[in-house]
């Protein structure tokens, strides 16, 4: 159950990044104001940072948790390879 939660959370986070990135890119094409474009670029960077943290922390927790002998790390499998 916990492993499924982590997998669903990671998948939804990555899909959310794609949706936010595409929506921001679309809005950016129709935006004329320079400050709005800067705001959209900042929003895209924030979304990318969040997705990178989400994708890195899952496998990192799996590796670190198994090295420390945490029982939760045995049921988490977020690494696709």
Tell me which residue range forms the domain holding 62. Answer: 33-80
Cα separation values, 80 from 21, 22, 44, Å: 23, 24, 25
Is the pTM higher than 0.75? no
37 and 67 in a single domain? The answer is yes
Using DSSP's 3-state secondary structure scheme, residue 78 falls into coil
Q: pLDDT tens track of the chain, all 81 residues?
A: 555 666 777 788 888 888 988 988 888 888 778 898 888 889 889 988 888 888 787 667 766 766 777 665 555 565 655
User: Residues near 62 by Cβ (< 8 Å), separated by ≥ 6?
Assistant: 73, 76, 77, 78, 79
Do 45 and 74 fall into the same domain? Answer: yes
Per-residue pLDDT, 57: 78
Task: Answer yes or no: do 40 and 55 share one domain.
Answer: yes
């Amino acid at each position: 159950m916990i492993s499924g939660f982590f997998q669903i959370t990671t998948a939804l986070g990555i899909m959310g990044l794609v949706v936010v990135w595409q929506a921001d890119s679309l809005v950016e094409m129709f935006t004329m104001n320079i400050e709005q474009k800067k705001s959209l670029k900042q929003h895209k960077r924030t979304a990318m940072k969040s997705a990178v943290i989400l994708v890195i922390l899952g496998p990192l927790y799996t590796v670190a948790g198994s090295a420390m002998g945490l029982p939760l790390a045995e049921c988490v499998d977020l690494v696709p390879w």
